Amino acid sequence: WTDVVKIGRTHLQDAVPLTVAQEVGGWAAQLQDTERRLQESLAGLHALPLGGTAVGTGLGAPTGFGELVCEHLRQWSSGHNWHVAPNRFAVMGSHDALVDLMHRVSQLAMGLHKIVNDVRLLASGPRAGFGELRLPANEPGSSIMPGKVNPTQCEAVAMATVQVLGQSTAVTMAGCGGHLQMNVYKPLLGFNLLRATALLGDCCRSLRVHLVEGLEVDGQHIGILRDRSLMLVTALAPEIGYDTAARVALHAHAHQLSLRDAALALGVITAERFDQVVNPQAMAQPGGQRASTAPPPSAPSNSLP
């Protein structure tokens, strides 16, 4: 979708152009960053208070007991650096590593929530909404409105992520529950952490099969919305000045004109120069409109990238 240039939106208002590939790439990068943070957080679980016995002093445990057990664990589970915690008192009196991992899981939930809400907005319509994306029809959308396609996968994932964020709150409170030399909330921590990871795993698999693999773009409609946007005037600002560009946008909006017609009506630029400067494809690339003077792209393919 690198050739599909659409209008961006900030504050839910029209903004400057970007490509669909850039938008979707932002979603992918957000999930990749979260995956990296999850992997980093897992390392904290390798520090064990073995040999600390009752309160962390090691009373009653043979010398070297914790180190020996960790050595056996490393042999039995390749790739995991199990080791005795540098301070057993800290690990027994708190469960910070588990809380940290749960917070990373909740970051995944927040990211998924944001992404599916974006998809719902972009697929709204199809005639009276954004209508930029076409969702796969997994089931009849309505018993009284034939042909309706609802974003059920997005809605299911949104509900699941809210559930996970609630579980994260429970884990956070459990992490506060240590008294003196022991935090007794580990059953609650483990229960919610395992349930949350299983739920999000199911969400990701279902989202891929029932949404992502069948997702399409409506290139023609995207082009219409892009070309109607007043924010393409941003490319004119370096050419004719900010105040004059704003006057063009306001004139176009007030008189229901295209930016091109408004600029020509006000006599602030020639038609040839307007077509060179206001180039959505170039505006979506590094360097903005100065990157190219090629004409806008033709209607793009709707196939998956």
Per-residue pLDDT of the chain (305 residues; tens, 9 = 90+): 889 999 999 999 999 999 999 999 999 999 999 999 999 999 999 999 999 999 999 999 999 999 999 999 999 987 899 999 999 999 999 999 999 999 999 999 999 999 999 999 999 988 899 999 999 988 877 778 888 889 999 999 999 999 999 999 999 999 999 999 999 999 999 999 999 999 999 999 999 999 999 999 999 999 999 999 999 999 999 999 999 999 999 999 999 999 999 999 999 999 999 999 998 888 898 664 443 333 433 433 444 33
Do the Cβ atoms of 165 and 110 come closer than 8 Å? Answer: yes
Residue holding tokens 């395992």? Answer: 194
What pLDDT does residue 130 have?
A: 95
What pLDDT does residue 79 have?
A: 82
Same domain for 210 and 267, yes or no, is no
Same domain for 40 and 170, yes or no, is yes
As annotated, the active-site residues are 11, 142
Tokens for 271, please give them.
Answer: 């038609």
Q: Among positive and negative, which fits the CA dihedral 59, 60, 64, 70? A: negative
Same domain for 175 and 104, yes or no, is yes
Same domain for 151 and 45, yes or no, is yes
Tokens for 131, please give them.
Answer: 């209508």
Do the Cβ atoms of 23 and 5 come closer than 8 Å? Answer: no
Same domain for 212 and 286, yes or no, is no
Do the Cβ atoms of 156 and 203 come closer than 8 Å? Answer: yes
Same domain for 100 and 234, yes or no, is no
Do the Cβ atoms of 257 and 251 come closer than 8 Å? Answer: yes
Same domain for 29 and 141, yes or no, is yes
From 59, 84, 109, give the residue that closes a domain: 84
What pLDDT does residue 286 have?
A: 61
Do the Cβ atoms of 6 and 18 come closer than 8 Å? Answer: yes
Domain residues for the domain of 237 are 229-291
Please report, as a single letter, which amino acid is at residue 224: I
Helix/strand/coil percentages in the chain, nearest 5: 60, 10, 35
Name the packing angle between helices 96-122 and 152-175 (round to 10°): 160
Task: Report yes or no on 300 lying in a domain.
Answer: no
How long, in residues, is the chain? 305
What pLDDT does residue 264 have?
A: 95
Nearest to 283 by CA among 24, 22, 13, 18: 18
Do the Cβ atoms of 81 and 46 come closer than 8 Å? Answer: yes
From 195, 217, 239, give the residue that closes a domain: 217
What pLDDT does residue 292 have?
A: 38
Tokens for 44, please give them.
Answer: 């904290």
Same domain for 17 and 152, yes or no, is yes
